[in-house]
């Protein structure tokens, strides 16, 4: 990166709580932010916050499950800011459902968004970084479910596990171009998506708190701080790793939202953990 050019950070899934937290983390004078989600209108609110913090912000809409829109928005970012220095591949999808009842459509949706979409974004951006010849950093948002299974989230966990391996593959092949690739593995994070399940009194919230050594659930800012570190010069010798940001949850076993009595053979009944 030349002295005259702003550091450019691209964030996908920027309208979600973790994406917004990451945008705030990077927002500062001298930083160019490209905030991507399914529609540019979805990120206008966080874009205004980042502009107030001094960042130069570009908002873009694209469906990452289709390569052509991905290539188009990356080209727009480069045309606007000159280059890309950091990518936070954050966009993802998850829906509960039993393995036996899961539809082919739902399975494919997980694969298309989490695996195929993230692959496309990372490849297009990595090719741009190689052309620039100045290196870069890519951080992928996977999940603690990438390493330990979460009940009723088979498609989610399988695709997130694929992302953890994609991180290693990219790190190995992109290292010669001075491009580092790492991942974050969030545990249970308090977001708008998890709020309905965490707001049910002591039920699932109480259970998950008791299963978390740090005694609290995660915040989007916890993930954003880890992403900022992995993308920074302080992590210049860190590549090919996916770091758990889960308050120690996976030390005592993967936190579960739903449980069943395994002694009830041929009659699995899944209930909210409590």
What Rg, from alpha-carbon coordinates, does the chain have? 19
Distances (CA, A) of 184 to 71, 152, 240, 245: 25, 22, 11, 7
Q: Quick one: tokens of 228? A: 């900022």
Q: How far is it, in rounded angstroms, from Cα 164 to Cα 228?
A: 18
Among candidates 10, 18, 2, 21, which has minimal Cα distance to 56?
10
Q: Is 52 a catalytic residue?
A: no
Is there a contact between 190 and 222 (Cβ–Cβ < 8 Å)?
no
Q: Is 143 a catalytic residue?
A: yes
Q: Mapped to the 3 state alphabet, what secondary structure does 185-241 carry?
A: EECCECCCCCHHHHCCCCHHHHHHHHCCCCCCCECHHHHHHHHHHHHCHHHCCCCCC
Among candidates 181, 116, 188, 122, which has minimal Cα distance to 150?
188
One of 7, 144, 154, 156 is an active-site residue; which one? 156
Q: Which residues contact 264 (CB under 8 A, 6 or more apart)?
A: none
One of 143, 144, 154, 242 is an active-site residue; which one? 143
One of 7, 154, 160, 242 is an active-site residue; which one? 160
Q: Is 156 a catalytic residue?
A: yes
Q: Which residues are catalytic?
A: 143, 156, 160
């Amino acid at each position: 990166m030349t002295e005259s050019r702003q550091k450019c950070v691209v964030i996908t899934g920027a309208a979600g709580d973790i994406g917004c937290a990451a945008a705030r983390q990077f927002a500062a004078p001298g930083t160019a932010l490209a905030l991507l989600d399914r529609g540019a209108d979805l990120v206008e609110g966080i874009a205004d916050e980042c502009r107030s913090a001094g960042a130069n912000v570009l908002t873009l809409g694209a469906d990452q499950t289709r390569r052509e829109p991905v290539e188009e928005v990356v080209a727009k970012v480069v045309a606007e800011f000159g280059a890309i220095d950091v990518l936070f591949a954050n966009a993802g999808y998850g829906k509960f459902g039993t393995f036996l009842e899961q539809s082919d459509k739902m399975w494919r949706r997980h694969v298309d968004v989490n695996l195929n979409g993230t692959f496309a974004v990372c490849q297009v951006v990595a090719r741009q970084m190689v052309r620039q010849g100045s290196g870069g950093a890519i951080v992928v948002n996977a999940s603690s479910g990438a390493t330990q299974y979460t009940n009723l989230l088979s498609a989610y966990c399988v695709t997130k596990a694929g992302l953890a391996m994609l991180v290693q593959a990219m790190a190995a092949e992109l290292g010669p171009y001075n491009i580092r690739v790492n991942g974050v593995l969030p545990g249970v994070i308090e977001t708008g998506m998890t709020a309905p399940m965490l707001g049910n009194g002591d039920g699932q919230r109480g259970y998950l708190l008791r299963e978390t050594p740090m005694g609290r659930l995660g915040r989007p800012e916890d993930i954003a701080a880890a992403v900022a570190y992995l993308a920074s010069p302080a992590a210049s010798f860190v590549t090919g790793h996916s770091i758990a940001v889960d308050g120690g949850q996976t030390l005592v076993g993967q936190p579960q939202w739903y449980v069943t009595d395994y002694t009830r053979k041929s009659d699995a009944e899944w209930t909210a953990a409590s």
